[in-house]
A and B are shown apart, each in its own frame.
Chain A
């Protein structure tokens, strides 16, 4: 480990640019620090009503009847919806199976999710909604609704749900179906693992599990809906105004142009606001029924149980290695708890990062009677990398190898050992991280060797994350005063997208950022954008901005600057593709912990995060993304879990206090370093950033804890009781 050399593949010439690549405060930073930024719940319309949702208190029950007569009679109540009055399918809520749903899927799907469902299948599922003159009347009206439930048996854990005698959540069984109604696991195989297990000198097996972690953005879900004739205006926190518009139109059976979605500011996304939500549908339908604007506000508890979080997983690994530490076979049997609807894939990522001739990967998404699971920042990777990288750290230790060397030796330099990457910088990320972290000094060759009750240790993990290309749009216009206006359908979930889009436009135009006005967050004013999910905005919409500017410059060359009240307008909707290559972001995290073996307390004493996110558009906001996501991962590693009472099926820790998201006192100082490069794709070579930072924290922290105490933790979150348990 004394020679730290950069990987040769990453040495790509990258000349500096004028605007892109320079730390720039957000264009809306002043609005954010003066209280002027308007979020959804700050919208107040004349005559606006307030909505509240009645939610199921049972994990599984059939509704025999709902009596709303007393609530209807309460003065000030203007509309009440139930599954009987409003049999509307919430398309994005359950039949997607990890893919964008379409009309065909909507037609054939058996496991439909409605805005109101009967039977109800988790505690917190909407049963009825009320719009009233103020929020106090709306709350009172909920208390006056009588629901007669037939209580049904329930199941909470994915493995238990696959037992033959488990309660059936759907008539076809508890394996979550894909968008062709097939109850199939997600599989990936190559070679013959069984032959390798029979002959390899070392075979190791273990079980790892991860918990349901809630996105828990600071802004509770809210929506404001207003109908002007047959046109709906919906103010809602969505990371994809175009997707939300399209989903709303489809669910309501109206044309896209009859829906306007507005989202200027939103208080965090992290993956559970990408499309339309049931709250959006309910608010729009209440506004229609009441003939007045309606505002819906979720409580914090409702947000925890009514909005989806990260799917919990159980992961069984079996790994075969040679005497020199070369991987021969990896097998994963995984189970993901999806809640009762399949809102996303339930995949478990990570194995693809290892070079291995024999792979057998079978992950089964399973229905449970818990809050629904779906996208949460880096959807399938923080779980998967926690499992596989804990497993591999353990294998390295059992072979008496340095885990960094073991990792470098066994990482795949081709995607799934088959397809080349556009560039491959993982080794450079690892080497640089080891150097910045001083790995050889901090890592203990003998785990748990420190004397005394406070023990230190170091851990590391590494990752890849997709950074593919795709379709998005942008419009740019210039007037006679050389004022440029950029129209992009982005919202700003917190990553700084509108500033980034402005920077890219300014760079491409060759003008200062101050000469560019950015218009965003309104489907009536902005073209289609891919939406702020999958860390795609900078890559895809950013590239569309470059293409629109290219068109505008051509028009300017032909026609000259506009005069008088004229403007020149250029629109681009590029759909770039990668041929024969895969594009990924890479990263490596190094963590040092101090474990108090008497109290079970873990303190992070050093944290280094090295990432290849391609060329960095704005180092200021890019760094915030990484250090913020790493900190969020600390919560997943050490605290967060939506705990359920096994006997009653009730969620016990819905809220910030019991879920214990990280505070100022938990946050490590994160040192961020970027391995910059330009592979020639995306906007100026930009790759994914937003999700990368969270993927590695749980694995790296777990490995550091092992290095400190010499005992391997296998279940997230690694709470104090578990640490004291393995030490007892």
Chain B
């Protein structure tokens, strides 16, 4: 089939996919780090025309996109496997852990528990969109300085929940942070560090002792 992408009438889906993956490969190579040797980023799934599917228009990290999605895809599948935004992690795929938290119209949501098809007309932001290749946000910088990420697998979700918190409450207390991030589990148990990071990013004073710095 020769599907046209509505916002780029001269491109077939195949060309669009090829172009996207080439761009991502170049970006990875330019980073020049060891991670660039880990294959990734190329779209891993494509729409099976035999199953119900739809075309949605959404904004991802500030860029408007028209994407064809299977109706059964979750938002996490769309982001990770179709758009190559693997910074969003899947920890449970059933709304228990918060590792997959992204912002939809500035609200933190579990991307594993939202269907991609529901994102038509919505604005999605993932961890990749925080600094968008530029300098780190103050929150990301605070995460670096406070050693917020141990294994790092829950970190994207913690960042997104904290970003939403700071938008509605720029100077949160430790109690505010714990409450806002209660849906983001961390098995490394690094909660003290996360709370300290978010409080510091809001300009507040370190709350948890932790010590050792």
Contacts and interface: CB of A to CB of B under 8 A. Distances in A.
B210 A671 contact: yes
B191 A23 contact: no
Given A219-B91, A266-B151, A665-B178, A31 B44 contact: no
Contact of A44 (B44, B51, B192): B44
A623 interface: yes
B189 A268 contact: no
Contacts of A262: 38
A664 B195 contact: yes
Interface string B77-106: 000110011111111111011010000000
B140 A217 contact: no
A44 B44 CA distance: 6
Contacts of A56: none
Nearest to A75: B50
A629 B192 CA distance: 12
Contact of A624 (B81, B86, B97, B147): B147
Interface stretch (B4-12, B114-122, B123-131): B123-131
Interface in A612-640: 616, 619-625, 627-632, 634
A681 interface: no
A622 B86 contact: no
Nearest to A622: B212
A294 B177 CA distance: 40
B15 interface: no
A32 B152 contact: yes
Contacts of B89: 39, 218-219, 267
Given A42-B38, A656-B92, A669-B210, A33 B86 contact: no
Contacts of A46: 42
Nearest to B157: A218
Interface in A374-425: none
B92 A300 contact: yes
A218 B156 CA distance: 12
Contacts of A270: 187
A119 to B, nearest CB: 30
Given A34-B136, A43-B39, A267-B153, A656 B188 contact: no
Contacts of A624: 147, 150, 188, 190, 193
Given A34-B136, A35-B87, A44-B42, A29 B149 contact: yes
B152 A267 contact: yes
A663 B85 CA distance: 26
Contacts of B80: 42
A30 B148 CA distance: 11
Nearest to B161: A664
B205 interface: no
A34 B130 contact: yes
A628 B211 contact: no
B178 to A, nearest CB: 4
A90 interface: no
A35 B92 CA distance: 18
B194 interface: yes
A298 to B, nearest CB: 10
Contacts of A42: 38, 40, 80, 86
A495 B188 CA distance: 9
A271 to B, nearest CB: 12
Contacts of A671: 209-211
Interface string A17-61: 000000101100111111111110111111010000000000000
Contact of A623 (B43, B81, B131, B211): B211
A620 to B, nearest CB: 5
A95 interface: no
A670 B209 contact: yes
A264 B38 contact: yes
A631 B99 CA distance: 19
Contacts of A48: 44
B143 A620 contact: no
A418 to B, nearest CB: 35
Contact of B149 (A33, A216, A663): A33
B186 interface: yes
Interface in A660-687: 661-665, 667, 669-674
A220 interface: yes
A469 interface: no
Contacts of A493: 151
B159 interface: yes
Nearest to A76: B48
Nearest to B42: A44
Contacts of A669: 192, 207-210
B45 interface: yes
Given A33-B149, A218-B154, A623-B210, A664 B191 contact: yes
Interface string B168-211: 00000000011101111111111111110000000000011111
Interface in A636-666: 655-657, 661-665
Contacts of B34: 264, 519-521
Contacts of A326: none
A299 interface: yes
A600 interface: no
A655 B94 contact: yes
A60 B126 CA distance: 44
A267 B149 CA distance: 10
B131 A38 contact: no
A235 interface: yes
B212 A619 contact: yes
Contact of A672 (B33, B145, B210): B210
A36 B87 contact: yes
Given A265-B35, A623-B212, A628-B189, 13 more contacts: A23-B212, A29-B143, A34-B130, A34-B140, A134-B48, A219-B91, A219-B151, A264-B34, A628-B188, A631-B191, A634-B189, A664-B181, A671-B211
Interface of A: 23, 25-26, 29-39, 41-46, 48, 134, 136, 215-220, 235, 262, 264-270, 299-300, 492-496, 519-522, 616, 619-625, 627-632, 634, 655-657, 661-665, 667, 669-674
Ordered nearest first, which 4 A-B pairs have the shortest CB separation?
A35-B87, A623-B212, A267-B153, A494-B151
12 contacts: A34-B128, A35-B88, A217-B187, A220-B93, A265-B151, A267-B151, A267-B152, A268-B153, A519-B34, A655-B94, A664-B177, A664-B184
